[in-house]
Structure 1
Amino acid sequence: MTDTSSTRPAEGEAHAPRRRRPPRLVRYIPMIAPVLLWAVPCGVLLYSGQHWPLPVTPVGTALFVLGLLGMPLAMARGHGRRQQDRAAIVGDALLGTSWVLFTWSVLLGVLLRAALALAGVGEGQDRARIVTWAVLGISAVLLGWGYAEARRVPRVRRLDVRLPRLGAGLDGTRVVLVTDTHYGPLDRARWSARVCETVNALEADLVCHTGDIADGTAERRRAQAAPLATVRATRARVYVTGNHEYYSEAQGWVDLMDELGWEPLRNRHLLLERGGDTLVVAGVDDVTAESSGLPGHRAHLAALHGADPDLPVLLLAHQPKFVDRAAAAGVDLQLSGHTHGGQIWPFHHLVRIDQPALAGLSRHGARTLLYTSRGTGFWGPPFRVFAPSEITLLVLRSPHLPTSR
């Protein structure tokens, strides 16, 4: 493995355009969203014609009001300056619960009620109660299942990726991708160790972590990240920063990963040589790095400075949206995370607004492939609903040899 470093911007590379201020309505979303998340389920479950006995409606309303007031307060204490883990756990759980209740209150409050009316099932009050119990039942099942999915060791997703420029000597190179581990308020040190055991069983040539290691500083989450030191690879273990590192002292995470034996690829590349052929393995800082104000942190393709342009390139970039620049530079394969596959359905519709891919393998331009992982851990709400986590094994294939090798 040969190390080639560069932290200078590539010549002629344009600076990222200055961001325009978002429309006023968008700026009000953080204030409007919590009200909708709690008010809509409250209305559907308590005030849509059920005529509950006297204690039910006021007690239920009080619980929804407590949720509305408690969620932002707990999240502010948990994720703000105080960084109180217990408050973060409460706030994150309330956020996930309200999202699931909101989603199914909207869907069943409209669709199921209409279907019952068309089928002539019951009168107004009976229909309202059927909808109520359906919302509560489905939400409870999904939250229980989603919690188990979030806390389990991810399944391994395996796929062959054919790269036209990959030399025959590199055929069969095993690349394992973990990303978005998000070590955080819920202690997941044992989970982390089991993830690393799973990775080691895959006997990888190259192991990649594409950022968002944790929520919190390296010092605070060190115990959960420590098992990463046990990860084995025959060639290299490489890492790039994600946007969450820039919320919590990114340089501390870069230093800790270096201490744990990983190679931080901060806008530079390594050469992976095997069987007489060479693969350029490059990495860039997250696209939010420049706005963090940290000296020297910025996403740019100086990562490829000095690399032979005829060699195939594997690029690590936390966010899929970097693929436009990767395709323009002729990168063969970009590995990313960030999206979590939406994490809690149907949040993936909002993710698609911001990112060019949600999960899986996609093509961008004539040459560039992008693999977007659904992530290994979870952020915030400890739930994964219709968006399972993954550890990914990508087997690189050369066009010069049959795929069945």
Structure 2
Amino acid sequence: MAQTEERTRARRSGRRGRFLIVVLTALVLLFGVPWWTVVFGPDWPIPVLVVGTVAFACAAIAFPVLMYLGHGRRRTDWAARIGDTLLGVIWVLFAWSLIGTLARGVLAVFGIGDHGRTVALGVLAVAAVLVVWGWFEAMRVPRIRTVQVRIPRLGPGLDGTRVVVLADTHFGPIDRTRWSTALAAAVNQLSPDIVCHAGDIADGTVASRRSQAAPLRTITAPLGKVFVTGNHEYFGETAAWLDHLTELGWQPLHNRHIALERGGDRLILAGIDDATAKASGLPGHGADLPAALAGADPDLPVLLVAHQPRQVTAAVAAGVDLQVSGHTHGGQIWPFHYLVRADQPSVSGLTRHGERTQLYTSRGAGFWGPPLRIFAPSEISLLILRTAHR
């Protein structure tokens, strides 16, 4: 028994050690590369070098503290706002510092002299423009993205059905109640038949995000308003958010389906828990598509709401006609979409998987963490369902 406990402690210690190494490596790269490119490398005068070095050092030390205070057990909103913004700024600086360093190397190969200061100023200018632009993109009401989706099994009575997909509203540390009100108004202007929220509704407790979520009550759809859990629902009050969205007039598709009818034809609208639900340990939670489709007429077309695009593997096996998802944010801040693509089969838009299944991945309406969207605009997705014969 003592040896088993000792091995368990050793494994935990090893995991903590590896985690610490990863965090430290990430901090060194995120802050070190921009520091080298814009401060140390260009051979600035000593005062500039000292001030720049101190600024980067203070930011590197403050960042993990702010993230711990903002996203740890305390969930202090002011710390989250500062830490998230700092993360966005340093990511942009990191990405463009790499590009600047590459450009400087190319110039050196062709013997075009040392342009260290020019590259440094260029990186700072580009980063400043992108951060300001990205902030406005994140805070604006999402653009409408309209897509015609042809579903061969769709009955003629359902042709033209208007499905609005919301995802990743992420009501969080920045109070976006006015934004949420405008979002709901924009959805209603589309006259949707069905509205689906594909998860990641909020970050924080119901009590702290109640005012931001309240406008969701005003959204109307004659055939139904449904939602599923995203991975962020499992970071906090899962049951409370399920109950609260129900109070706001939304139906939870917690591994279940409903049958909708329009023009004499029917459609199965199903939903499953997020892919991370089972690991949360919450009783009764875990993506279960067979349970969601139990009792459904196999001859009817199926529209599945699942938070993560990678859940399409199960959808293909089950013969689902269309899956709608979010989660990716379209990458949110370029070039992060390359990392997202390594984990998901789609970053945004309509894609086909297998012989029958189509997947629509929304870039999401809100943002998580950094209040920036760079080359990944937010969206309200309007899917117009079409029959095969139209």
Same fold (TM over 0.5): yes
- Cα distance in structure 1, aligned partners of 2:218 and 2:54: 49
Work out which of the residue numbers 365, 373, 395 in structure 1 matches 2:384: 395
Work out which of the residue numbers 315, 338, 343 in structure 1 matches 2:332: 343
- 2:180 — aligned with what? 192
- 1:289 — aligned with what? 277
- 1:128 — aligned with what? 116
Question: Is the counterpart of residue 53 in structure 1 residue 45 in structure 2?
Answer: yes
Task: State the 1:376 CA deviation.
Answer: 0.4
Deviation per CA, 1:36-56, whole angstroms, max 9, x where unpaired?
Answer: 1001110111221x2212211
Give the aligned residue type for 2:104.
Answer: R
Task: State the 1:120 CA deviation.
Answer: 4.8
Work out which of the residue numbers 46, 69, 82 in structure 1 matches 2:74: 82
- 2:314 — aligned with what? 325
Task: State the 1:210 CA deviation.
Answer: 0.5
- Cα distance in structure 1, aligned partners of 2:109 and 2:281: 59
Question: Is the counterpart of residue 116 in structure 1 residue 111 in structure 2?
Answer: no
TM-score after normalising by structure 2: 0.94
- Cα distance in structure 2, aligned partners of 1:47 and 1:93: 24
The structure carrying a bigger helix percent of its residues is 2
Q: Decide whether aligned partners of structure 1 residues 354 and 115 sit closer, same or farther in structure 2, where only a CA change above 3 A counts.
A: same
Work out which of the residue numbers 23, 28, 34 in structure 2 matches 1:41: 34
Deviation per CA, 1:15-69, whole angstroms, max 9, x where unpaired?
Answer: xxxxxx99x9788433311221001110111221x22122110110010011111
Gapped runs of 5+ residues in structure 1? 1-20
Task: State the 1:206 CA deviation.
Answer: 0.1
Give the aligned residue type for 1:85.
Answer: D
- Cα distance in structure 2, aligned partners of 1:219 and 1:170: 39
Tell me if structure 1 keeps the 8 A contact 2:43–2:116: no
Give the aligned residue type for 2:86.
Answer: L
* SS of residue in 1 equivalent to 2:370: coil
Task: State the 1:382 CA deviation.
Answer: 0.4
- Cα distance in structure 2, aligned partners of 1:27 and 1:43: 23
- Cα distance in structure 1, aligned partners of 2:275 and 2:43: 52
Number of residues paired by the alignment? 376
Task: State the 1:116 CA deviation.
Answer: 3.1
- Cα distance in structure 2, aligned partners of 1:31 and 1:294: 32
- Cα distance in structure 1, aligned partners of 2:45 and 2:24: 33
- Cα distance in structure 1, aligned partners of 2:205 and 2:233: 8
- 1:303 — aligned with what? 292
RMSD: 1.6
Deviation per CA, 1:74-123, whole angstroms, max 9, x where unpaired?
Answer: 0100000011000000110111111000000011111x2134335654x3
* SS of residue in 2 equivalent to 1:270: strand
- Cα distance in structure 2, aligned partners of 1:146 and 1:139: 10
Gapped runs of 5+ residues in structure 2? 1-13
The range that moved more, 296-305 or 194-203, is 296-305
